[in-house]
Structure formats: C-alpha cells, structure tokens
Structure 1
Amino acid sequence: MWETFAALLLAHALADFVLQPAGMARGNRRPTILLAHGGVVLATAIAATGSLHPALFALAGAHMATDYAKARFGQGFAGFLADQAVHVLTLAVVAVLAPTIFAEGLWAGEARLSALFVLAAGAILAVRAGGFAIGQLMQPWAEAVTLDGLPGGGRAIGHLERGLIFLMVLGGMAEGIGFLIAAKSVLRFGTVREEAKLSEYVIIGTLASFAWALVAAFGTLALLSHLPPLGIPDFTP
C-alpha cells in the first residue's frame, strides 16, 4: 500500500506543481483545459506506478471533479488547502482499495524506488507547492505594502529557504533552521524596521513559509519510515 501511495503522491506533485502552467491552473472551469490537466494527472500516475490499473482512471476523474469544484467555490488560501487535502485523501483511498498497483507494475522490482519517489514528492511539495500556498495566504495583504526589489526575488527567496529547511530536517540538522531564521532577520532588518506594514507582511510570510517547509519535511520522514531505507544516507525519523 505504501509503495502505491508514494508513487501516486509523486505523480500528483508533478501534475499539479511542475507540469501545470499558470494558465491551466486558472482555466479549470473550461472543459478543454480541465480535460488536458486530467490527462496529465493520468499520465503521471501511469508513469509513476508503471501500471494501467482502472483505479488510475478513476483517480484522474476524481482529480478533475475536485479541481472543477475548487474553481467554482474554493478560491484563496483556504480553497487551496481544501483542494490539496481532497486530492491527498483521494490518493490514500486508491492506495487502500488497490494496494498492489505498484507491486504489480513495471517498477515492482525496484525496492528503493518508492523512497526516492517520496523524497522527490516531498521536495516538490515543500518548495513549489509551498510557493503557491504562501502566495495565496499573503494575497489579501499584498496591496497594502510596497514591495521594492528584484522581480520574482521574494519568490526565489521563499523557494530557497523552504528547500534548505527540507534538506536540514531530512539530514538531521534541524537545529540549523534557527540560524536560517536569524540570518534572514538580520538581512531584512534594514528594509522593514521603519515600515510596520511591510515588517508584519515579511514576518507573516516568513513564519508561514518555514512552517510549511517543516510540515512537508516531517511528513516526508513519516512516509519514509514505512518504506525500505535508502541507506545513502539512511533518512529515517
């Protein structure tokens, strides 16, 4: 079951956060775009599991239905969280009802592949999905502050800090996160010390970004504990 869930989780992370352009994400009310995204979801699930199991087609259909519901009724940060929660729940249901999808697929003989899938999915969810989530969370306050800086600089900083936190936790160096917070605070101090709104905006965004990365990293460790160890290094909680 865990091997199947690991493969489906990676497929989902790729389909939603790597292979879905912004225009496709915004156009999920249009049948053609929704079907195209559903095709990507199905293709990644087939590739990750090495299987053509009928449950994967049902999974793609459920994914499209969830995305359509989000496009109509679930905007903003809460809608993003609800959408992703339903997707992950759907993956879990498929893994429970059809636990042998991966074991009967093309990659069944690769014992360590599932752990690599979890690492890759965790990294995507920590960095890329975190970027979308924090962007949605901060959107209501974005118009209240003046953000002077490099175009896309804040997004790049967020990606880097979440990636570093993910690596620190998985590498057993979680104490280094405190130094990362201190370093960012020092570097940002001159920019925000005289502007209360900007200061609060940066603090909220930073804490949310760090929290997201920590949840993704520890969730990855929890999943790895159910799979054969990689051993190089041995990532276990």
Structure 2
Amino acid sequence: MYQTAAALLFAHVLADFMLQSDGMIREKRRPLVQLAHAAIVLAASLAALGQVVALPVVLLAVAHLGIDRVKLAVEDTIRPFLIDQGAHLITIGAIAVAAPTLWKDGLWPDLLPAKVADLVPLAMLYVAGFIVAVRTGGFAVDKLLAPYTPYWKRAAILSGGLQNGGLLIGQLERGLTYLLVLAGYPTGVAFLIAAKSILRFNASKDDRRIAEYVIIGTLASVGWALAAAFATGALITLAGGPP
C-alpha cells in the first residue's frame, strides 16, 4: 500500500506546488482553470503510478477539484490552507487504502528492474518531502506573515534589499533544514538559525517590528521544514527504508 500512497503524495505535491503556475493561481476562480488543474492532478497521479487509466485515480482528481472549490469559498489565509492540504492528504490515504495495488498493477514494476522499482516509491517520498519543506513551506509562511508583510516590504525597499532576496533565503533555510535532519545532523539547524540571526542583526536591531517579523518568519520557516523532514523520515521508516 505504501507504494501507492507514496506515488499519489508525490503526484499531489507536484501538481499543487510545482506544476501549478502563478497565472493559474491568480485565475483559480475560473472554472476552466480549476478543471485544468484537476486534469494536471489526474495526469500526474496516473504517471506516478504507471497507470493509463484507473477509476480510483479519477475519483481522487474529482475529490481534489471539490476540495479546491470549497477552499475558494473562504478567505485565503493560513488556517484554510492547512485544512485544504489536510483534506487532500485524507483523500490520498483513503484511495491508497481502498486501492492498495495501484502501484503494483501499474507499468513501473514491470518496466523497471526489481531493485529499482522498489526504490522508486522511497525516492518519491524523499522528493515529495523536499517540495513540501521548501515550496509548500513558502506558501504557508507567506500566509502566516501576510498581516505584517506590507510593512516589511516598505522596510526592504527603503533599506535597498535584493529583490526576492527574502524568498530565496527562506527556501535555502528550509531546504538545508530538511537535508540536515534527514542526513542525521539535526543539531546543524541550530547553527543555521544562529548564522541567519547574526547576518540579520544589523537590519533589525533598530526596528522592533522588523526584528519580530524576522523572528516569526524564521521560526515558522524552520519549524515547517523540521516537521516536513521528521514526517518524511517517519514515512520512510514505516515503508521499510533507511531510518
């Protein structure tokens, strides 16, 4: 069952956070855009499973569309975002339980050498976890900090900061946190936070609001990456892979 769940999780994070363009996000209330996104979810899921067509996967795509439509009816803040992603994970788990042989019955176990086919779902979990840590974490932190972002942007412009510099810093810290934890060096995260704090000190020491924004953003960003890394490690262990 875990192979099916891993493939569906991998397809979900690809469809939601890598294959969904900024234009699609901006136009997400248009029915055709919603249908296009559901089609991407369906195609990504079928490809990950090595299936040409499968009714459970079609039902998953329909459920994905329904969940997204419900989310559009509420405010786009951190809580609905987390509930939305939780609902998607529940549907993935339900499909994996109801149709556990989707991976086994797909093309990949027959096309790939047995040892490679066994490793592919584990690789999917690692990559899915990395995307969740880095890319999904960016959306989550942005939504958490949204009430304070206008002030931060004005301060960044006045200070002459690099365009999208904060975005890249956040991605790097989450990516490094994820890799450090899974590599068995979680204590390295403390040095990462310390280094960022030192580098940010001069920019925030004279403005309490900037200092608090940086602290909240850093803790949320690193905390999200830690959660993604430990969750991925737990799933890998349950799947019988490296601890």
Match of 1:54 in 2: 55
Q: Which moved more, 1:112-121 or 1:220-229?
A: 220-229
Q: Which runs of 5+ in 2 are unaligned?
A: none
What count of residue pairs does the alignment treat as equivalent?
A: 231
Which of residues 161, 164, 172 in structure 2 aligns to 1:160?
Answer: 172
Residues 1:216 and 2:223 aligned together: no
Residues 1:147 and 2:156 aligned together: yes
Residues 1:122 and 2:134 aligned together: no
Residues 1:33 and 2:40 aligned together: no
Question: For residues 167-200 of structure 1, what are the alpha-carbon distances to aligned partners after superposition, in whole Å with 9 as ceiling and x for unaligned?
Answer: 0000001110110011001000000001000000
Q: Distance in 1 between matches of 2:205 and 2:165?
A: 20
Q: Distance in 2 between matches of 1:207 and 1:10?
A: 26
Alignment of 1:13-32 (within 5 A): 13-32=13-32
Match of 2:238 in 1: 226
Residues 1:200 and 2:209 aligned together: no
**Distance apart, 1:143 and its partner CA:** 1.9
Contact 1:35 1:64 in 2 (8 A): yes
**Distance apart, 1:41 and its partner CA:** 0.3
Which of residues 122, 135, 138 in structure 2 aligns to 1:131?
Answer: 138
**Distance apart, 1:28 and its partner CA:** 2.3
Superposed CA RMSD in Å reads 1.0
Q: Distance in 1 between matches of 2:29 and 2:99?
A: 30
Over 6 Å off, 4+ runs: none
Percent pairwise identity:
46
Q: Distance in 1 between matches of 2:234 and 2:3?
A: 13
Q: Which runs of 5+ in 1 are unaligned?
A: 230-234
Question: For residues 112-139 of structure 1, what are the alpha-carbon distances to aligned partners after superposition, in whole Å with 9 as ceiling and x for unaligned?
Answer: 1110000010000000000111111111
Contact 1:74 1:80 in 2 (8 A): no
Q: Distance in 1 between matches of 2:72 and 2:165?
A: 28
Q: Distance in 1 between matches of 2:79 and 2:223?
A: 16
Question: For residues 133-170 of structure 1, what are the alpha-carbon distances to aligned partners after superposition, in whole Å with 9 as ceiling and x for unaligned?
Answer: 11111111112332241111101000000000000000
The letter of the residue matching 1:209 is S
Bigger proportion of residues as helix: 2
